[in-house]
Chain A
Amino acid sequence: MDRDLVEQAQRGDRNAFAILAQTHGDQLMRIAQRILRDVGRAEDAVQQTLVVAWRELPALRDPDRFDAWLQRLLVNASYGEARRWRTWSANVRVLPVDGPGGGDETLSLDNRDRLERGFRRLAPDQRAMLVFTHYLGLAPAEIADRLGIPVGTARSRLHYAHRAMRAAIEADDRPAAVAGGPSR
């Protein structure tokens, strides 16, 4: 079904693309929010992804790879969002995340806090590796294929991401803030 819709959209059929956007939108949102840890920025990334997908769709050679291609666009859009945020972080304010407060009860508040802090310190490409591995359940070779990176690179990013998260879990409580004036 997707292949037919993709081919129609490639020929300029906006209705076909709207169906594709509705079909894939929730999954894109789930991935983006987990990489960026911010609903507003995830919405930005998804919108950019879908608009770029529409614009560049005629250049997609294999319609069967639409899903993987879309996720690759999303990851790149998420990188851009993360970088934009990082660059301008001195001038922005945080919007609250409105995700559900529940979750797996086996994850203690303490561990959740440590994981959150550790995850926010990761580079965007390492975050994407963790989300694709532990949320989508993909193997490094599959992730490499989707993101268009060498398998070795995927494994390396995953290794360092795991190491950083392990260290975050095991770290003693650290001071909440570092003394000093505003960064410049």
Chain B
Amino acid sequence: MTDQRELDRLLGAFFVEGTNELPDRVLDATLEEVDRTPQRRVTRMPWRFPAMNTYARFVAAAALGVLVIGGALYLGGLRQTGDDQSPTPTASATTSANPSQSAQPHAAVYVFTQGAGTAAECGNSTQGGCISRLWVANLDGTGARELIPNQSGCQRFQAWSPDGTRLLFSRSECRWEDHSPDGFVGMTGPERFYLTDASGGAPQVVDTGCVSPCLYEDDAVFSADGLRILFVRTKSVPVSPSASPDPVTGKPAEGTEVTVLASIDLATGRVSELGAFGESGRCGSEWPRSSCPSWSPDRTQIVFTVAAQIVGPEPPKDPAVFVADADGRNVHQVSAFGQGPAWSPDGARILFQGIQYSWTGTWFPGKVVRSSSDIYTVRADGTDLRQLTTDGVSYGPAWSAAGRIWFIRPTVVDGIVQDDGTVQYWVMDAEGSHATQLSGRPPEQAWLLQPTP
């Protein structure tokens, strides 16, 4: 047993090693950046409330009261005109797996949780890490809870049914990914689709019969009538025994992965492969799911992200957004930067999280790179790009059925993005106006919102 004194000694020695100087090139680049960066303008109150005389306090308090009440009435009026707010925050999300409540729509939250790994799910007890789990909350963001707490493993959101009463997700066992620089818990083994009601009751496997040469299935969505599920199946096509071994690993060639569009009839369980699916449309191994395709409301097109490379010998590339027909043809780029694209309910616009990387001067490997994240929309033909937020930290946008936009914004205090789990739900109009913080507090590390249709 390593006692505390010995542990202190080892850790002290451990931290002696390392880099001790900030390179001049980084300092120079930083100061160049500072030259281009305006300082925030801070308005300080010219007076302090306690220093005022009694009459002035009374007047100020009355004025403040009028402002607060007026503001509340104004916001209340706004909320009544929209349908993103639950009329009364129901207890349905915080209660029950009672099937009788399953028709009550919920707002779903796809959660990326850090440090929540358990011994059962994430290997031995020395390993912390990240597992993805589904959470739900009321439409005002309150009452967040795990959707199916008694189901182990990693869960990923796939789709809501068109009527918002059922939820499709995928599940697999979790695995500690040990050869990553930081380590994280990924998914392993067969990942299967599950269907549950909106309260998380009685999850059932959707058996798509994915056995060899089928490798895995992903990117599922309900058909517009809710009777079928469309999904993307990845299969392995054997190669010739004489094929050359992998030039990097030296291992024998394992075959080529191809993707096909498939569907399953939920009433009969019959699976049909509908045809080849464009290779460029696959989200592949990108993670989290916010990189993956989204289907148009009429299921004839997909919008997807080609992922970026942010560290390495080549300059970073912003992730780009593309649209293609459902068979993978007619690919065209609609944005040079962005991820997590989603079609508006009316099919007119595409919503995405715009991620942009920037650096100063000439690129070289190891160059300092900055990133920003804001919410954008664009027409499906790539025209009329609109930036809806400008704070540089908003992410996870999703459409509501009424065409408003939900998103996540971390709490910022004194210019510092708080990283203690205090992110917030926000909702705004499709034009980016009337941004309102919802009252509920999301669970730790909420990553992607998916409001009910």
Contacts and interface: CB of A to CB of B under 8 A. Distances in A.
A29 B186 CA distance: 31
B244 to A, nearest CB: 21
Interface size class of A (residues with CB under 8 A): 35 or more
Residue of A44, A130, A180 with most partner-chain B CB within 10 A: A44
Contacts of B17: 99-100, 102-104, 112
Determine which residue in A37, A58, A125, A164 has the highest number of CB atoms from chain B within 10 A of its CB, and name it. A58
A21 B19 CA distance: 17
A45 to B, nearest CB: 9
Interface string B31-73: 1011101111110000000000000000000000000000000
B225 interface: no
A155 interface: no
Interface in A44-63: 44, 46-48, 50-52, 54-60
A80 interface: yes
A178 B129 CA distance: 15
Given A44-B368, A55-B415, A177-B179, A164 B41 contact: no
Contacts, number: 254
B414 A60 contact: yes
Interface stretch (B134-142, B196-204, B302-310): B302-310
A42 interface: yes
A43 interface: yes
A79 B365 CA distance: 22
Contacts of B14: 107, 112, 115-116, 119, 134
A151 to B, nearest CB: 14
A124 to B, nearest CB: 8
Given A40-B311, A52-B415, A130 B38 contact: no
A173 interface: no
Q: Which 3 A-B pairs have the closest CB atoms?
A: A183-B186, A56-B415, A104-B13
A1 interface: no
Given A59-B42, A170-B2, A183 B20 contact: no
Contacts of A37: 181
Contact of A178 (B7, B15, B41, B176): B176
25 contacts: A33-B18, A38-B181, A39-B19, A51-B33, A52-B416, A56-B414, A59-B415, A69-B414, A88-B308, A91-B286, A91-B307, A92-B312, A99-B17, A103-B16, A104-B12, A104-B17, A120-B182, A125-B419, A149-B420, A166-B7, A176-B179, A181-B188, A183-B186, A183-B287, A184-B191
A55 B27 contact: no
B194 interface: no
A175 B237 CA distance: 31
